[in-house]
Chains A and B, each alone.
Chain A
């Protein structure tokens, strides 16, 4: 069952992705109209770029979920000291680095298309970048910090998790089309809702498949460490 789980999830994610692309480009209308009497825009002013939004925000949702799971797993690891929690935290945080990169890059491209700037040092964007740097720091600490790396990294994961609610609910004078409870995800209407949540579900499934794969990798790394120790004891390696 375990061997089949990742392929099944991957196939589901692939189907979901194909369906999402169809929904985004052929099913969901663009959410704006122009009132020709006033010449003003009626809608969320996302234009064609809103096709980026479905995947950008879906990745952000997965990123937040991953960081949250990583943080909880790190708390449990520091508390119980069971390797399973450390494996889960390492896997989720490492995968979240990739999802965070997608969020930042697609967001930046969207910003250039919609607002003609690649980046603005506004609160939400700055916090998102800082969160991503914390996640990168986590990976680096695990790789280079030596014997206590797992505990230091766990602390960083908890620190990152604490930042997530601030990013999500941050309502500043920023360019985002809505934040927090008034954010895009909760103000979408009609077909946009369906498309958005299909995209979120797709990337969640994809994320789970990646985390399972990465957890297997972490266990393999632990097995390598144990085998090396045995080999050292027996003098097989130096």
Chain B
């Protein structure tokens, strides 16, 4: 709760410094070169303005919510892009497919060759034995 109030106050101060009143699309940080006293004064101005005008307070709250939403969306989009460009796993999958197919072919080829050799040897031995008989 304290954090939210602090963010609100900071944003409010920045909004006042910006002069727009809405504080849209600004970072919750002190203006560059501002002293602690100036920041405190801005915070006070912001707090006073918020207390005086509930609509202004609401607009600050809305701005923060929008920023949080945008951060969430950005995080999701970043994650999506990361997964979208994840070529490594696609390469692994294709490599696995090729390796298994190659192993199967080698296995079948070697087996066929071994069988052919054995059949030829057996036929040769049998014909010799039959000739002798």
Contact = CB atoms under 8 A, between A and B. Distances in A.
Nearest to A98: B104
Given A30-B84, A109-B96, A210-B108, A231 B126 contact: yes
Chain B interface, DSSP helix/strand/loop, else mixed? helix
Given A34-B77, A41-B80, A236-B126, A52 B133 contact: no
B65 interface: no
B106 to A, nearest CB: 11
A11 interface: no
Given A39-B72, A102-B97, A217 B89 contact: no
A81 interface: no
A48 B94 CA distance: 13
B116 A55 contact: no
Contact of A227 (B72, B77, B96, B119): B119
A110 B129 contact: no
B73 interface: yes
B118 A224 contact: yes
B100 interface: yes
B123 interface: yes
Contacts of B85: 48
Contacts of A112: 89
Nearest to B133: A234
Contacts of A221: 115
A52 B90 CA distance: 6
B93 interface: yes
A47 B93 contact: no
30 contacts: A32-B84, A39-B76, A41-B76, A48-B83, A48-B86, A48-B87, A49-B83, A49-B86, A52-B90, A56-B93, A98-B104, A101-B100, A102-B96, A105-B97, A106-B93, A106-B96, A114-B83, A210-B104, A217-B112, A220-B112, A220-B115, A220-B119, A227-B119, A227-B123, A231-B122, A234-B126, A234-B130, A234-B133, A236-B122, A237-B125
Contacts of A210: 104, 108
A230 interface: yes
Chain A interface, DSSP helix/strand/loop, else mixed? helix
Contacts of A52: 89-90, 93-94
A173 B76 CA distance: 23
Contacts of A47: 80, 83-84, 86
B2 to A, nearest CB: 29
A: contact size bracket: 35 or more
Given A48-B87, A49-B89, A231-B129, 5 more contacts: A32-B84, A52-B89, A98-B101, A234-B126, A235-B129
Given A39-B77, A114-B83, A227-B119, A49 B90 contact: yes
A213 interface: yes
B66 interface: no
The 4 closest A-B pairs by CB, nearest first: A39-B73, A113-B89, A227-B122, A220-B115
A228 interface: yes
B78 to A, nearest CB: 11
B111 interface: yes
Contacts of B93: 52, 55-56, 105-106, 109-110
